[in-house]
Structure 1
Amino acid sequence: MSKPQISLDDLQANVGKNVGESQWRTVNQQRIDGFAELTEDPQWIHTDPERAAKESPFGATIAHGFLSLSLLSAMAIDVLPTIKGQVMGINYGFDKVRFMNPVREGSKIRGSFTLLEVKQRSDNEWQLRHGVQVEIEGQEKPALIAEWLSLAIIPS
């Protein structure tokens, strides 16, 4: 199934609107351990379930904040439409990233996206700013909030 496409005019008309929520993803110990190995960050609050249950204020291992942040790429694929004529999308970075609530092992998380801004940078380059939240199932406080910048390359 192909992703929906949106015209640039329709995209601009959606500024200020919630674009949608991704599917839920389970953050299990295997995912946490894999991230710890890849990033060379084996801190025990992430990788030692027995010690974390006894010594951590969270009562369990927790995901790295950067693991939750990195899952936004997959979450965006679930939600964000492709712009008609777009040949490439580029991650341009984040503003105002805040890790608000730990993601305990076994939790389910999803991304929620709001389009905040669309601005033309050149004849074929548009910058998009999305407000993003990573929600934790069953909790009011999100795992993280941020503003995510991306570039859409659309040949004229």
Structure 2
Amino acid sequence: MEYDVETLLSLVGQEILVSDWISLSQDEIDAFGRVTRDIDPMHMDPEYARKHSPFGQTVLFGFQTLSMLSHLCSPIRYRHDGGAIGYDLNYGLNRVRFISPVPVNARFRNRMTIKSVEQREDGAYLITSENTIEIEGQERPALVAEWIGLLSREDA
């Protein structure tokens, strides 16, 4: 899916993406814990989690779920003014709420809505989106995040 700035402006307030369902295995959760040096047994030790966790099984790290936004939004491409391909850089997050944990091997996906598109003085654009990661079969989402991307020209 490719969007130019003019189209994005017309889509403010609208959902532009429902990603494919994905899941993460225990090995992927363990790798995240090792890389971030957070070896919490609630995430990395299935036996411990069965006995001591309020969830009865291991769950993704909250920040691991948040980090999956890059992958879940990867089908989206933006074009800058004049049709030039733009770089969409991670500018930051305004608000993140971790609502429900994602169990190991559970399927989840993202719903993305454009909140605003603002041009900066340097000609770049700030694109703010609301992202809701849903867990298959659960009413409450895993997280809701307001994410800001900086769209700059490829030749900038």
Instruction: Point out 4+ residue stretches in structure 1 off by more than 2 angstroms.
Output: 4-7
Matched-pair identity in %: 36
* TM-score of the superposed pair, with normalisation by structure 2: 0.92
Q: Please point out which of 17, 33, 39 is paired with 1:20.
A: 17
Deviation at 1:108, TM superposition (A): 0.9
Work out the number of aligned pairs and report it: 152
**In the alignment, which residue of structure 2 is the partner of 1:35?**
32
Cα deviation, 1:115-153, whole Å, max 9, x if unaligned, reads 000000124200000000111011111100010001001
2:134–2:141 CA contact under 8 A, matched in 1: yes
State how far apart, in whole Å, the 2-side matches of 1:94 and 1:139 are. 25
Deviation at 1:88, TM superposition (A): 1.2
State how far apart, in whole Å, the 1-side matches of 2:68 and 2:108 are. 9
Query: Superposition pairs for residues 5-154 of structure 1, below 5 Å?
Result: 5-78=2-75, 80-83=76-79, 84-154=83-153
Unaligned runs of 5+ in 1: none
Unaligned runs of 5+ in 2: none
2:92–2:147 CA contact under 8 A, matched in 1: yes
- AA aligned to 1:15 is V
State how far apart, in whole Å, the 2-side matches of 1:123 and 1:86 are. 17
State how far apart, in whole Å, the 2-side matches of 1:14 and 1:81 are. 15
